[in-house]
Structure 1
Amino acid sequence: MSELELLKIIASILALIVSVVGHEIMHGWVAYRYGDMTAKLQGRLSINPIRHIDPVGTILVPALLYAMHAPFLFGWAKPVPIDMNTVLRKGGYGAAVAVSLAGITYNFALAILAATLLPLAWPPHGMLGAFVYLFLAQSVMINVVLGVFNLWPIPPLDGSQALRFFAAKMGWRGFVEAYEKIYPYGMIILFAILFTPLADILFAPVGWILKWIIPG
């Protein structure tokens, strides 16, 4: 393994950890702003990655994707505990939508920041410069992928939560009741999509967003 390959692996791992850990912390932080102390009391608003690492989502899945030469790394951290009843009671359905979209907002914001800084890191100088460039490049890709993926309206992804609370806010009771019946089958539907050509269609916005935020 060359030094450049090793740098890319390290940069990719760090970028993934920053992306998925920050995603979960933002859910907890926004919930905290609406009065839910659950995540804070359990120490899950900490930036210490050890508190958030999921053995499967943060380690095994990314490792398998890398070994399979996947076009991008992907994963998740342990979900931050949230008492949505408290959020609803103190902030209403709008607050619940905000909590649901907090992680996605973080991912897209981080992708835009990394894309803005990326030209400043080119051309890289030395090993440190190469590491910074690779870290920024991987941060752009990983965060866009995570943002798009979590927007899918498939339970238990964030997009489904936001859609359900928005529908409740609008008074679409029939829609909410019908949608909630899908929840027990959400993971089956999700994995079925991920292993079919439909995934290419749903991931298509990744390419559009990358072309938009990466200069030149």
Structure 2
Amino acid sequence: MMHGWVAYRYGDTTAKSMGRLSINPLRHIDPVGTILVPALLYSFHAPFLFGWAKPVPINMNTVIHNGGYGAAVAVSLAGITYNLILAIFAATLLPIVHHPESLLGIFIFFFLFWSVMINVVLAVFNLWPIPPLDGSQALHFFAAKMGWRGFVEAYEKIYPYGMIILFAILFTPLSNILFAPAEWILNLIMPGWQIILSIITH
């Protein structure tokens, strides 16, 4: 949704006209990415769950025409920025219910805790410069803005193999390195998260 909202600020009405500037999750569900793939991974006891929503329709040509490649970078990073804002907001509220004394308090505590965890992990994951993740789009448009034509052309050749590369990384120790920034951010905004996670999982 945030990609569409930022694009709308640069004159692209595509997402708005298709009813996708909405917080209603039903408008963004992808039958395969939101339901089938996570269900299969869960059924086969995969070490992680992975999925996606329907891409928000954006006319990037309109965005670039009105705001240049810098605007395209802003649209690409909109989701990541929103994830981090939500994580910081939830982490700020968490100390208020750090010692819940009711079922409602426990629910709020878990809701805020997992809001921080999930949004930080999503932000870091989507920042990876691997197609089709947001980080790859941002890098692509940044390179175009800088006039690195050779890099852009070489980078575009990777796009057809992006999902293969992505899954290969997720199933190797390299993913631990690429997810390391998530731990740094969590340590910064939610100290003690590892202790809480250990208690919850055990």
* TM-score, normalization by structure 2: 0.88
Distance 1:73 1:130 in 2: 25
1:109-168 deviations in Å (ceiling 9; x for gaps): 111111111111111121111111000010001001100000000011100000010011
Relative to 1, partners in 2 of residues 1:73 and 1:193: Cα closer, same or farther, differing over 3 Å?
closer
The reply to whether residue 88 of structure 1 matches residue 72 of structure 2 is no
Q: Which residue of 1 aligns with 2:87?
A: 111
Identity %: 80
Q: Which residue of 1 aligns with 2:181?
A: 205
Relative to 1, partners in 2 of residues 1:132 and 1:61: Cα closer, same or farther, differing over 3 Å?
farther
Map residues 120-135 of structure 1 onto 2, 5 A cutoff.
Answer: 120-135=96-111
Q: Which residue of 1 aligns with 2:114?
A: 138
Distance 1:80 1:194 in 2: 24
Note the C-alpha offset of 1:61: 4.7
Q: Which residue of 2 aligns with 1:97?
A: 73
Note the C-alpha offset of 1:65: 6.0
Contact 1:73–1:142 (CA<8 Å) still a contact in 2?
no
Map residues 1-216 of structure 1 onto 2, 5 A cutoff.
Answer: 25-63=1-39, 68=45, 75-215=51-191
Please list every run of 5 or more consecutive structure 1 residues that lacks an aligned counterpart in the other structure. Answer: 1-24
Letter of the 1:170 counterpart: M
Distance 1:155 1:39 in 2: 21
Note the C-alpha offset of 1:197: 1.1
Q: Over the residues paired in the alignment, what is the CA RMSD in angstroms?
A: 1.8
Which stretch has the larger CA shift, 193-202 or 51-60? 51-60
Note the C-alpha offset of 1:55: 3.0
* Secondary structure of 1:196's aligned partner: coil
Note the C-alpha offset of 1:204: 1.2
1:19-72 deviations in Å (ceiling 9; x for gaps): xxxxxx1000000000110000000001221101223433445556666485x7
Off by >6 Å, runs of 4+ in structure 1: none
* TM-score, normalization by structure 1: 0.82
* Secondary structure of 1:81's aligned partner: coil
Letter of the 2:19 counterpart: G
Please list every run of 5 or more consecutive structure 2 residues that lacks an aligned counterpart in the other structure. Answer: 193-202
Q: Which residue of 2 aligns with 1:11?
A: none
Name the structure, 1 or 2, with higher relative contact order (CA <8 Å, separation 6+): 1
* Secondary structure of 2:99's aligned partner: coil
Relative to 1, partners in 2 of residues 1:139 and 1:195: Cα closer, same or farther, differing over 3 Å?
same
Note the C-alpha offset of 1:75: 3.7
